[in-house]
Amino acid sequence: MTTMTPYRPQVEPGGDGFAQLLHAEWTKFRTVRGWLITLLVAVLVMVGIGLLSAAGTSSGCQQVGGSGPARSGAGCMPTFPLGPGGEPVTDSFYVVHQPLTGDGSITVRVTSLTGQLPPANGPQGPGPVPGDTVPGLMPWSKAGVIIKENLNQGSPYAALMVTGSHGVRMQWNYTGDTPGLAGTVKAGDPRWLRLTRSGDMITGYDSADGTHWTQVGSVTLSGLASTVQAGMFGASPDFTNVTQNFGGGTSQNGGGPTQATAVFDHVTLSGGSPVGQWAGRYVGADNGSGIGSFHQNGGRFTVTGSGDIAPIAEGHGGPADSAQTIHDYLLGTFAALIALVVVAAMFMTAEYRRNLIRVTLAASPRRGRVLAAKAIVIGAVSFVAGLVGAAAAVAIGTAVTHHRGYWEFPVSGSAEARVIIGTAALAAVTAVLALAIGAMVRRSAAAVAIVIVTIVLPYFMAVAAVVPLGVADWLLRITPAAGFAVQGAYPQYAQVTAIYSAMSGYYPLSFLAGLAVLCAWTAAALAGATYLLRRRDA
C-alpha cells in the first residue's frame, strides 16, 4: 500500500496581488503599438487644433471700432482697463464728484431713474441720432453714489446704486455685487443711499424714508488712498440684440449706446475736508463715445451717463470678441477624446474578440478586480495624455498669440492650472466610461458609438449651436458632456448681461459639478460592467 502524495507544482506560485494585476494590464496596454500611436495622435490633434485656432486669427483686428477701447500702437492689442483683481473691466461712466479726505460719508436721495434706448429692432445707423431713441432702461442701468480712489479707469471703488430692474445694489471693485432694497425708483417712492468710509472700510446703507437705514454691505478696499473722490454717477450699458442662429453662430442686429438719467437731492457730503464745488466728468472719455452731463438746480442734481462699471464677459466686450481664450486653445479636446474612447473601449473589447478574457479571468478569477485594474491603467494613461495635450496646447497657443501680437483674454494662473488639470481629468474619466461601456456591450463599435454620442455629440450640438440655447444648457447639465464644464475658465457675472453659452466658453455647471455628473455616469457604468462581468460567461 503506497500513499499517494498529491501533485504539487514545482513552480513557485505567482503573486495574484493587485499590483501584479495592474502590472499585467499595463503590459497588455503598452505592448499594442496601435494603441500607443492612437494616444500620440490624440495629443497631437489636441495641440494641432489649438494651434490652428491661435494661428488662424488674422482678420479679428480690423473689424473692431466704435465704442471699444483704444489700441496701442501698431499691434492688435487693445488696452483694456484692468480691475484690482487683474480682470478686464468696463469703467466708463459720468460722475459728479469732489475729493474726500480721510473718513467721511456721502448721502443722497434718488427720486427718479429714467433712460433712453436705441429703437428696438430698427435699422441701425453707425451711431445714435438725437431723437432717434425711445425711453427705457436697461436692466443694469445704474445711478447712485460712489467712492473711488481716483478718476482713472480700473481704480478701486465702492458704489451704492439704484438699477433699472435689480433694485438697490452695492457693488465694489467691478466683480463684487450684493442686493439691497428691491423695487424700482418711482415718483413718491424714492431711495436714500449712503456710503461711509472708515479707514479702508466702506459701508453702504439704504433707506426708503431717510430715517430707517439698513446696512447693505461692508467692504474693505485695502490700501485705499487717504484722499478719494466721492460723488454721484450714472451709467447704462450698451444695448445689444443678439440672436443665436441654428446651425452656428450668433448674429447681432440692432444695439448701441443707452443712457440713464437720475435725479438726486438731499445731497450731504461730510468728512475731514471742507465741502467744495461739484465737478462733472466722464470717466474713460478718451477711450470712447461717452455720453454724460449734469445739471444742478439748488440742491437738486440731474445726472445723465452712459457706459458701465463692471467686469467684461469673455466674448462680449467689443474687442473681447476677437480675443484668444484658453477655451479656444483647448478646442481639440473633443477630438482627442474620440481617439481615447476608441483605445479605451478596445482595451476591453479586444479581450473578448481574441478570447484573451478567458486567460485573464483564469489568471485572476476575481473579476471585479480585473475591471478595477483595467480602469486604473486606462484612466492613468488617459490622464497623462490629457495633461500633456492640454498643457502643450495652452503653452503653444499662448506663445503663438503673444508672438503675433494678438490679445489674450486674461486668465489667472490658478484658473489656467485648474482648466489643464480638469481637462486631464475629463480625459481620464471619459476613458474609464468607455472601458465600462465596452465591458457591458463587448463590441468595440457599439461601445465607441455610445460614448461618442453621449459625450461628444451633446458638446458638438451645444458649441455649434445646432440646438436652441435652453436645450444646449440642459444637454450640458445632464449628459456625460457636463464634464466639459472643467474648461470653463471665466466666471459668469450676475451683474453683466451676456449670452453665457458654451459657444463663448461658459458652461451651465461649475467645475466640480460638471465633473461630478460625468463621474456619476461613469460610476453607474462601472457598476453595471462589474455586475455583468460577474454574472455572464466570459
Positions in the binding site for another protein (CB under 8 A) = 49, 52-53, 56-60, 121, 243-249, 251, 253, 322, 328, 331, 334-335, 338-339, 341-342, 345-346, 349, 353, 443-449, 452-453, 456-457, 460-461, 463-464, 466-468, 470-471, 503
Q: Would you say 26 or 460 has its CB closer to another protein? A: 460
* Cβ atoms of 500 and 492 closer than 8 Å: yes
What minimum distance in Å lies between the beta carbon of 424 and another protein? Answer: 20
Round the CA-based radius of gyration of the chain to a whole number and report it.
Answer: 30
b/e 493-505 (16+ beta carbons within 10 angstroms → b): bebbbbbbbbbbb
Q: Would you say 2 or 62 has its CB closer to another protein? A: 62
Calpha distance 163→141 (Å, rounded) = 5
Q: Would you say 291 or 357 has its CB closer to another protein? A: 357
* Cβ atoms of 379 and 433 closer than 8 Å: no
Q: Would you say 58 or 270 has its CB closer to another protein? A: 58
What minimum distance in Å lies between the beta carbon of 249 and another protein? Answer: 8
* Cβ atoms of 185 and 234 closer than 8 Å: no
What minimum distance in Å lies between the beta carbon of 353 and another protein? Answer: 6
Report the alpha-carbon angle 45-421-513, nearest 5: 110
Calpha distance 188→365 (Å, rounded) = 81
Beta bridge pairs of residue 105: 196, 270
Q: Find, among 349, 334, 329, 332, the residue nearest to 35 by Cα.
A: 349
Calpha distance 181→168 (Å, rounded) = 5
What minimum distance in Å lies between the beta carbon of 399 and another protein? Answer: 18
What minimum distance in Å lies between the beta carbon of 322 and another protein? Answer: 6
What minimum distance in Å lies between the beta carbon of 186 and another protein? Answer: 25
Element (H, E) at 194: strand 191-198
Calpha distance 449→496 (Å, rounded) = 39
- Dihedral angle over CA of 424, 427, 429, 431, nearest 10: -140
Q: Residue 458 has which C-alpha cell?
A: 451633446
* Cβ atoms of 442 and 400 closer than 8 Å: no
Q: Residue 113 has which C-alpha cell?
A: 431713474
Q: Find, among 463, 393, 379, 475, the residue nearest to 427 by Cα.
A: 379
Q: Residue 253 has which C-alpha cell?
A: 442686429
Residues with Cβ within 8 Å of 175's Cβ and at least 6 positions away in sequence, in order, are 83, 85, 87, 311, 491, 493
What minimum distance in Å lies between the beta carbon of 176 and another protein? Answer: 32
Calpha distance 393→407 (Å, rounded) = 17
Cell 489636441, located at residue: 46
* Cβ atoms of 488 and 506 closer than 8 Å: yes
b/e 85-96 (16+ beta carbons within 10 angstroms → b): eebbbbbbbbbb
Q: Residue 155 has which C-alpha cell?
A: 481704480
How many CA atoms lie within 13 Å of 495's alpha carbon, on the beta-carbon side? 26
Tell me if residue 261 falls in helix, strand or coil: strand
Calpha distance 96→126 (Å, rounded) = 29
Calpha distance 125→31 (Å, rounded) = 66
Cell 455720453, located at residue: 291
Calpha distance 380→25 (Å, rounded) = 12
Q: Find, among 97, 144, 128, 153, the residue nearest to 289 by Cα.
A: 128
What minimum distance in Å lies between the beta carbon of 324 and another protein? Answer: 9
